[in-house]
Chain A
Amino acid sequence: NAGVTQTPKFRVLKTGQSMTLLCAQDMNHEYMYWYRQDPGMGLRLIHYSVGEGTTAKGEVPDGYNVSRLKKQNFLLGLESAAPSQTSVYFCASSPHPIQGGLDTQYFGPGTRLTVL
């Protein structure tokens, strides 16, 4: 089991460029999430998904779009990157309560994004 993986690990963009961050999990989890973390702050939820084909907005969704076409993948897109989106991005997944087990989130290693 690889758990939760994120691609890429690092990226530098220029203002206005677009990119997609990929999150993949091999634990058959229903729920997936994208967070951003800025210095001195906790994690803030950008978007989340409660199942394949569904997405919803979190605390800070503006400037981001997401898609969950396959259960194991959750993509985060930046259509026109801005310096304010410089951050570390974490993906996470968790099982549906019906699946049993601990109601906890499993996090990926993060993607460091810099927008110049």
Chain B
Amino acid sequence: DAKTTQPTSMDCAEGRAANLPCNHSTISGNEYVYWYRQIHSQGPQYIIHGLKNNETNEMASLIITEDRKSSTLILPHATLRDTAVYYCIVRVLNTGGFKTIFGAGTRLFVKA
């Protein structure tokens, strides 16, 4: 599975959009981009995933560049409860989650 690079930490004002970048320059054609987050002391929570096209669900939007070497997770209106560590992961779909490798992630601080 391809390796990902994320900033160590980011700040965001409450009510503003939080844009979390992820680089995955070695991603292969059949690898998906997944995002999870982990709120303090809890287990990770799935947010969104995508292959080529931009994706949106009730939690967030995922923007993937045309060359697929990077992506951005967007939380459109960040709240204090969105303070968490966000993990960007790339892996082949349907091979089983055991190939999921969680790196250090980005620690997002949402401030009032």
Interface residues of A (CB under 8 A from B): 4, 31, 33, 35, 40-45, 48, 50, 56, 58-59, 90, 92, 94, 96-97, 102-110
The 4 A-B residue pairs with the shortest CB-CB distance, nearest first, are A107-B43, A42-B102, A97-B94, A104-B46
**Contact present for B96 and A94 (CB under 8 Å):** yes
Known: A48-B98, A104-B34. A41 touches B43 (CB 8 A): no
CA distance A43 to B38 in the complex (A): 11
Q: Is B100 at the interface (CB under 8 A from chain A)?
A: yes
Interface residues of B (CB under 8 A from A): 34, 36, 41-46, 49, 87, 93-94, 96-98, 100-105
The contact of B104 among A31, A42, A92, A110, by CB within 8 Å, is A42
B100–chain A nearest beta-carbon distance, Å = 7
CA distance A50 to B99 in the complex (A): 12
CA distance A102 to B50 in the complex (A): 11
The contact of A58 among B49, B98, B104, by CB within 8 Å, is B98
CB contacts (< 8 Å) of B45 on chain A: these are: 107
CA distance A4 to B97 in the complex (A): 15
CA distance A104 to B35 in the complex (A): 10
Residue of A nearest to B44 (CB): A107
B110–chain A nearest beta-carbon distance, Å = 21
CA distance A94 to B46 in the complex (A): 11
**Contact present for A41 and B94 (CB under 8 Å):** no
CA distance A45 to B87 in the complex (A): 15
**Contact present for A31 and B98 (CB under 8 Å):** yes
Residue of B nearest to A56 (CB): B98
**Contact present for B43 and A108 (CB under 8 Å):** yes
